Amino acid sequence: MHLKRQGGYNVPLAGRPASPTETLPEPDALFLPVESGRLTFTDPAVADGQTVRAGEVLARDPVHFDVPLLAPRGGTVRLDAVEGHVVLEDLAAPEEEQGEQGPPAPDPRQSLLDLGAWAFLEDAYTGAVPDPAAAPSAVIVSTVRLEPFGVRGEAMLREGLSAFSRGLERLQGLLEYQPIYLVMPDVDSPLADEVHERLRGHAFLQIVTIPLRYPMDDFALIARGLGLDPGGAPVWALRTEGVLAVDRALTASRPTLDVLATVGGPAARRPRHLRLPAGYPLQTIRSTDVVEDARLVLGGAMTGRMADDAVRGMPVGCPGLTALAPMRGRPLFGWIRPGGSRQSYSRTFLSRLRGAFPERMPTALRGERRACIACGLCEEVCPAGIMPHMVHKYLYQGLLDDAERLGVDLCVGCGLCAYVCPSKIDLRAQFLQAQQDLAEERREAAEAAAAAAAKADAQEGADA
């Protein structure tokens, strides 16, 4: 099955990581952020000064089904050493941590939760951690990551194709009749042929190909393309690393303690794939892999967040780091530069004569905000099929209901509209805020309706 989608655009960013994986030297300490993307580990499970072994629970996220924060290495816990972090000192050597393989758990889903593998799963439509007790309508597994720059699935498959195949079988064992959709790039390659050959005959598996165009790997877009109901049972979604974590948890009864991440981008000295534990000191990575004064983005260049000084270590679940050079002042008469080294979706610069080339984009998007000029470029690249410029005008006027009618809820937050916008309007941030406002309105309306129904029931009881 091939999913055809309109829109999308591959941002030509310099600094793509090389394929070979390198292992970083063991650090003196690990700094595990309590806030790690969608997870917040606010319930400590250990005491300050306690000695732990690798894989022990350090804290839990009470909002997301008690997903645990596991110790990537054995060591001594420091809860108050760095604000917002659980610090591990006096680290044990990795080879001393593994211990004996544990017995298989009677409840596979509980085992995935206890061993940290459940954190790799998300709801395809909402991005939330799915309820381990709920049955999904389907599972989407993607080997594709198109945002610059996260770890691509092929980098992991080259090292663990057998484990990946076994992990898919383990996933199928959690289901009853629900299908698993395996998303692969629409390309011809020896690795793709090997994956197809290895998975041939798996009746529960349906292979889906997508174009290699950002953000066609977005789970919500894939789920819509497959016709999966957003209002029905949840759709589980996970990437290659999640399948490998499932296999490790259910086959060996062990957590995944080291992860594969990238350091890439125009300001990376040597873009590469790195194997490292969560909490690895960002300062060490800065000193070895990033040019001086570069700014680090946690995640990809389009949807990641800036790593400020408060973040000391690699967050759990972060696919990589993107290094961008800071903008060093405004060039004189910069607005009349012909732009021989500047990419433009609208092809208005001199660079259109060069063809495609990887750009050394800085932190600034080269421009100042102006009023929307209704050029329609955002509509061309939008993979969700909405009209961002019209949605923006409604939101600018405070007309949230009209923005909802035009499909602001369909926005997947890829950021392409803001990237191509010649007026430099931060449409992504505006739309994500609108989605939060709509969700809050719906929550308040549901609570009001429930309160009214309870009041009516109480009145009926009193009248009876």
pLDDT the model gives residue 423: 87
Q: Give a yes or no: residue 419 inside a domain.
A: no
Q: Give a yes or no: residue 148 inside a domain.
A: yes
pLDDT the model gives residue 300: 92
Q: Give a yes or no: residue 31 inside a domain.
A: yes
- SS3 of the chain: the string is CECCCCCCCCCCECCCCEEEEEECCCCCCEEEECEECCEECCEECCCCCCEECCCCEEEEECCCCCEEEECCCCEEEECCCCCCEEEEECCCCHHHCCCCCCCCCCCHHHHHHHCCHHHHCEECCCCCCCCCCCCCCEEEEECCCCCCCCCCHHHHHHHHHHHHHHHHHHHHHCCCCCCEEEEEECCCCHHHHHHHHHHCCCCCEEEEEECCCCCCCCHHHHHHHCCCCCCCCCEEEEEHHHHHHHHHHHHHCCCCCEEEEEEECCCECCCEEEEEECCCEHHHHHHHHECCCCEEEECCCCCCEECCCCCCECCCCCCEEEEECCCCCCCCCHHHCCCCCCCCCCCCCHHHHCCCCCECCCCCCCCCCCCCCCCCHHHHHCCCCCCHHHHHHHHHCCCHHHHHHCCHHHCCCCCHHHHHCCCCCCHHHHHHHHHHHHHHHHHHHHHHHHHHHHHHHHHHHHHC
- pLDDT category at 191 given cuts 50, 70, 90 is confident
Q: Which of 279, 385, 265 is nearest to 325 (CA)?
A: 265
Mean pLDDT, the chain, whole residue set = 88
- More confident: 69 or 349: 69
Q: Which residue has the tokens 């829109």?
A: 7
Distance CA 266, CA 5 (A): 29
Question: How far is the CA of 161 from the CAs of 69, 143, 186, in angstroms?
Answer: 27, 11, 19
pLDDT the model gives residue 151: 84
Q: Which of 49, 87, 47 is nearest to 71 (CA)?
A: 87
Q: Give a yes or no: residue 292 inside a domain.
A: no
- pLDDT category at 100 given cuts 50, 70, 90 is very low
* Residue 40 pLDDT exceeds 90: yes
Q: Give a yes or no: residue 149 inside a domain.
A: yes
* Residue 202 pLDDT exceeds 80: no
- More confident: 416 or 345: 416
Give the number of domains in the chain: 1
Distance CA 421, CA 415 (A): 10
* Residue 344 pLDDT exceeds 90: no
Under 8 Å CB-to-CB from 37, ≥6 apart: which residues? 315, 316, 317, 318
Q: Give a yes or no: residue 243 inside a domain.
A: yes
pLDDT the model gives residue 193: 79
Which stretch of 130-144, 167-181, 185-199, 333-347 has the lowest confidence by average pLDDT?
333-347
pLDDT the model gives residue 1: 84
Mean pLDDT, rounded, for 388-406 = 95
Let me know: does 122 contact 241? Beta carbons within 8 Å. Answer: no
Question: How far is the CA of 7 from the CAs of 300, 382, 416, in angstroms?
Answer: 19, 5, 10
Percent share of the chain, pLDDT over 90: 65
pLDDT the model gives residue 97: 44
* Residue 105 pLDDT exceeds 50: yes
Q: Give a yes or no: residue 426 inside a domain.
A: no
Q: Give a yes or no: residue 289 inside a domain.
A: no
- Over residues 294-309, the pLDDT tens digits come to 899 999 999 999 998 8
Structural domain span for residue 199: 18-254
Mean pLDDT, rounded, for 331-359 = 72
- More confident: 402 or 450: 402
